Amino acid sequence: MAHAAMRGIAFLLYLLSLFSFSIAGDSLTPTQPLLDDGGSGNLVSAGGRFELGFFNPAGTQNHYVGIWYHNISDKAVVWVANRQRPINGGSGRLSLASNGTLIVTDDNSTLFWSSSSSSSSNRAYSPVVTLRDDGNLVIRDDPNSDSVSWQSFDFPTDTFLSGMIFGRDDSSGRNVNITSWASTGDPAPGSYVLAMDLDGVPQQFLWQDSEQVARLGPWNGVYLGGVPTINSQDLIDYFFMVSSREFIYWYTVRDPSVLVRVTVTPQGSGQVLMWVEGSQSWISQDSYPRDLCDHYAQCGPNGVCDPNGSAICRCIQGFRPKNPRNWGVWGWTDGCVRKTELDCRNATDGFFTFSNVKLPDTSTSTVDWSTRSLVDCRASCLKNCSCTAFASANISSGSGCIFWTANLTDIKHYNNGFGQDLYVRLARSDLESMSSGHGNKRRVAVIVVAPVLATFLLATAVILLWRRRKTRNNKTTDHHADEEAVEEKNLDMPLFDLSTLAEATGDFCTDNKLGEGGFGPVYKGKLKEGQEIAVKRLSKTSMQGTDEFKNEVMVIAKLQHRNLVRLLGCCVQGGERMLIYEYMLNGSLDTFLFDKDRCRMLDWRMRYNIILGIARGLLYLHHDSRYRIIHRDLKTSNILLDKDMNPKISDFGMAKLFSGDEIIGNTKRVAGTYGYMSPEYAMNGIFSVKSDIFSFGVIVLEIITGEKNNGAYHHNLLGKVWSLWKENRAFEIVEDFIHHSFPLDEVLRCIKIGLLCVQERPEDRPEISLVLLMLGSNSSLLLEPKQPGFAVIGDQIDTDSSSSKGALLSNNRLSITIFEGR
């Protein structure tokens, strides 16, 4: 009995000791561990700002030791100890060993994490670990000493706090950086790292695995040159310490009542977040990348990125696109090459001053501190035949030179006066041509205007001649009229024999029929040389086909782009009118989206690439082709997919060509497809590039949701998405099949872009060039969409025809024609 009583007292003392352990304040000692007991024994910093304890990310059973904000509603975990090895299913314990090492164990004493200890083994310790009010967890060998043997600030996770040192520290030998979480619910190291690179001139990079995503540098003697806000924050002070072997910086917040943290998100965005009194959530003060120009090497070698330019990429003065064909369709990675090679031997080279830029990547550059002025820098560069550019190394003192000896990569132009001067070495002939720019402009004007005027006069003459002949020969057969129209327009379009097409399609056999629309049937064929084709045959009973036939030949013969279907030729023989296209193995987009089985073949990445491809095709039609072309019947059935699922815009029968400054048209013959037409076009016959943008927005939302837009007011897809968007539930509209396999931020960005494109007022809809820019931007940087135009036109449209099939390769949606638009 006595022994039993003693055991009971011992057990009671043990329980009391456990209770006492939970009352730890802001410090732990070897005799006072922190238990995973629901938070009652968590450490709280002396000022009440930060808290340390065990936590479980939402939806998981994993236990981590972390530090978070104690006194605000959105606590935001800023540091995690055992991020690579969580405790799963059991209780944890954070203990301080007698040698000053901090360890995380579970009930079975299994070790999950430990700090390093700088203490030697031949002395006695009284170590203590303390959570400070700046969020730093520190270990001291002696509670009476200020000497720190270990601190969490030397081993950050995804957050950079005020007072924390960032960069390569020569005293510790560490390169302190921050690494994103793997996901919002998983603190394990993710793909994105924000770190300093000291090769050449110090600069900061955002990395994704081993790939450079964005560059926030270089150091210019005052601040990091790629971060315009770092020198203009009224709230934050930045401090730098630079030497040949070290580059570190830190920041402090002037107002102690304001919380500021810098973090890297799992989606790859660097963010500066602020919390002020009365906030309900963290406020974004800055994010990075801000735009496409912040993405590393966006415009390739010797290219310049300007987020406010009409074209986002251009070449440095004296350079030209290396691949001109790709350059016009957002294919910038090849960059630019010199127009004229340098002539170092004869010392004829000079320099072009490029102002207000983020200096090129300095990884392979060199710095010479012995030179004291830009005149010295210029002379040194000219002496080195490998030198391609130079800049001042320190903008505050004007001392030192940075020299580049290779391609100039990742240049961004600023329009707000921010940035530095870059001196680019050019051949004398290029400099002379630039200095005589005014005379060149006159020559360019003559060179450009003369051919345009000649083309206009020739086109006018052709039209008058055609009308005269039409009047004289109004009794000529349709066959002869069509042949004359094709010949007189001099379209340089190959003509196919009727017999050749009959043989290729098995005499237009029903088994080879791919679909049928307002134009007529479409057949699959195979030429003798083995090339597969799609033959679009004008129905003799069609009321709309002749004009559309001529229009499509005239329009598409002028177009060459990888995201537009290629017209191989036509046939106007024996009373037949046919268009011959390249065959698209996978048919049209609608046959995938709206088929419950085939839709499973389209994962999110494939859908996103299709959206991107359609946008690139539209950019060519609206901006980069010889004429501005309004498609007027853009829909999923007119998006064809090749063998690699690359999208190609097809069916230009309704298209309109604009030339010169013409940007808007009006017609009483409204033609298009129910559910895709913009309100101003359906109701008033007004069409422009913004009409196509509306149709594109509908397509984007259909691709994301897998649902058709039926166009009925309050029951259409646009209304459904808009309602969910306003309730912050837009993710619920995503196609069920891809619901668990998509990056949420990217999908929400596409939904937002879709809604921006279908806004009711044409002037509110973005240009297609801006759409492409937004597809690669941060969602938070986009404008908020306004209410969509629902195109309430049901009472004006004859929808009696049932299942109209259509364009080229697949079943189509109902095409409509309204002869009176008002």
Strand 236-243 and strand 246-253: the pairing is antiparallel
pLDDT tens for 184-214 read 889 999 999 999 888 888 899 999 988 999 9
Rounded to a whole number of angstroms, the CA Rg of the chain reads: 34
List the CATH code of the domain at 590-818.
1.10.510.10
Preceding amide of 156 cis, omega within 30: no
**Contact call for residues 111 and 216 (beta carbons, < 8 A):** no
Q: Catalytic pick from 141, 349, 590, 633?
A: 633
In this predicted structure, what is the pLDDT of residue 457? 55
**Three-class DSSP category at 182:** strand
Q: Which helix (H) or strand (E) is 159 found in, with range?
A: strand 159-161
The predicted-structure confidence for 630-641, as pLDDT tens digits, reads as follows 888 899 999 999
DSSP annotation of 724 = H
Which two three-digit tokens encode residue 678?
A: 């913009």
Residue type, 645: M
**Residue 772 near residue 615 (C-beta atoms within 8 A):** yes
Q: Are strands 313-315 and 319-321 parallel, antiparallel or unpaired?
A: unpaired
Work out the burial of residue 444: count CB atoms within 10 Å of its CB; fewer than 13 is exposed, 13-18 middle, 19 or more buried. exposed
Residue 9: predicted pLDDT: 39
In this prediction, residue 267 carries a pLDDT of 86
Rounded to 5 degrees, what are φ and ψ at 677?
A: -80, 140
Q: Could you state, in order of their start, the residue ranges of all structural domains in the chain?
A: 21-197+221-255, 294-435, 438-471, 476-582, 590-818
Choose the weakest-confidence range: 4-8, 240-244, 410-414, 597-601: 4-8
Of residues 54 and 520, more confidently modeled: 54
What pLDDT sits at residue 445? 44
Say whether 595 is catalytic: no
Average pLDDT over residues 728-746: 76
pLDDT (0 to 100) of residue 518? 62
Q: Which of 60-74, 164-178, 350-364, 690-704 has the lowest mean pLDDT?
A: 164-178
How does pLDDT run across 764-796, given as a tens digit for each residue? 999 998 898 888 766 556 788 998 986 443 333
Q: pLDDT band for 15, please (50, 70, 90 cuts).
A: very low
Higher pLDDT, 559 or 568: 568
What is the rounded distance in angstroms from the CA atom of residue 638 to the CA atom of residue 565? 10
Nearest to 136 by CA among 151, 158, 125: 151
647: preceding bond cis by omega (within 30 degrees):
no
Name 366's bridge partners: 403
Which CATH architecture does the domain made up of 476-582 adopt?
Answer: 2-Layer Sandwich (3.30)
Residue 71 has pLDDT above 60, yes or no: yes
Helix (H, G, I), strand (E, B) or coil at 305: strand
> Is 424 within 8 Å of 318 (Cβ atoms)?
yes
Note every long-range contact of 276-281, with CB atoms under 8 Å and residues 24 or more positions apart, other chains counting.
279/72, 280/73, 280/74, 281/74
Measured N-to-C along each axis, helices 717-726 and 744-757 cross at an angle, to the nearest 10 degrees, of 120
Question: Rounded CA gap, 579 and 565, in Å?
Answer: 12
CB-count exposure of residue 474 (10 Å: 0-12, 13-18, 19+)? exposed
Question: Using 50, 70 and 90 to split pLDDT, how confident is the model at 722?
Answer: very high
Across the chain, mean pLDDT equals 80
CB-CB contact of 586 with 642 (8 Å):
yes
Residue 160: exposed, middle, or buried by beta-carbon count in 10 A (0-12, 13-18, 19+)? Answer: buried
Asked if pLDDT for residue 39 goes beyond 60, the answer is yes
- Determine the residue type at 21: F
- Contact of 355 with 419, CB cutoff 8 Å: yes
What would the two tokens of residue 162 be? 């005020």
Residue 176 near residue 154, CB atoms below 8 Å: yes
Calculate ∠ Cα 560-565-569, nearest 5°. Answer: 80
- Spatial separation of the C-alpha atoms in residues 500 and 579, rounded to whole Å: 13
Q: Which residue has the tokens 């790629």?
A: 226
Query: Which residues, 6 or more positions from 502, have their beta carbon under 8 angstroms from its beta carbon?
Result: 508
Share of the chain above pLDDT 70, in %: 77
- What tens digit of pLDDT does each residue of 306-360 get? 887 767 899 999 999 998 877 865 678 899 999 999 999 899 999 999 999 999 9
pLDDT for 399 equals 82
Q: Tell me the angle at which helices 744-757 and 768-775 cross, rounded to the nearest 10 degrees.
A: 170
pLDDT for residue 469: 58
pLDDT in tens, 87-100: 987 789 999 998 88
Q: Between 546 and 742, whose confidence is greater? A: 742
Q: Would you say domain 21-197+221-255 falls under CATH 2.90.10.10?
A: yes
CA distance 545 to 554: 14
One-letter identity of residue 444:
V
Written as one string, the DSSP assignment of 127-153 is: -EEEE-TTS-EEEESSTT---EEEEGG
Q: Does 103 have pLDDT greater than 50?
A: yes
The pLDDT, as a whole number, for residue 41 is: 86
- Rounded to whole angstroms, the Cα distance separating 652 from 671 reads 12
- pTM for the full predicted model: 0.56
pLDDT at 759 over 70: yes
The pLDDT assigned to 5 comes to 43
Q: Do domains 21-197+221-255 and 476-582 have the same CATH topology?
A: no
Residue found by looking up tokens 């001529």 in the block? 550
CA 476 to chain CA centroid, nearest Å: 56
Say if residues 65 and 53 touch (Cβ distance below 8 Å).
yes
Residues of the chain with pLDDT > 90: what percent? 37
Contact 671, 633 (CB under 8 A): yes
Residue 329 has a pLDDT of 59
Indicate if the pLDDT at residue 404 is higher than 50.
yes
Residue 247, pLDDT > 60, answer yes
Q: For 281-297, what is each residue's pLDDT tens digit?
A: 888 777 788 777 888 99
Report whether 787 contacts 726 (CB < 8 A).
Answer: no
Secondary structure class of 38 (helix, strand, coil)? coil
Report the phi/psi class of residue 76: left, alpha or beta, with left for phi > 0 and alpha for psi in -120 to 50.
Answer: left
pLDDT of residue 546: 60
Flag whether pLDDT at 623 surpasses 70.
yes
pLDDT at residue 6 is higher than 50: no
Please report, for residues 343, 373, 381, 430, 636, the alpha-carbon distance to residue 348 in angstroms, rounded to integers and kept in the order given.
6, 22, 13, 11, 58
Alpha carbons 34 and 40: distance in angstroms, whole number = 10
Angle among Cα 89, 90, 96 to the nearest 5 degrees reads: 135
Closest CA to 151 of 119, 167, 129, 173: 129
Give the Cβ contact number of residue 529 at 10 Å: 5
Q: How far apart are CA 171 and CA 370, in angstroms?
A: 26
Tokens coding 359: 């200096």
| 520 vs 47, more confident | 47
Residue 699 to residue 751: CA distance in whole angstroms: 11
Q: Are 703 and 593 in contact, with CB atoms under 8 Å apart?
A: yes
* Per-residue model confidence (pLDDT) at position 24: 54
| C-alpha span between 522 and 524 (Å, rounded) | 7
pLDDT band per the 50, 70, 90 thresholds, residue 372: confident
- List Cα–Cα distances, 400 to 225, 307, 403, in angstroms: 16, 30, 10
| Interatomic CA distance for residues 443 and 448, integer angstroms | 9
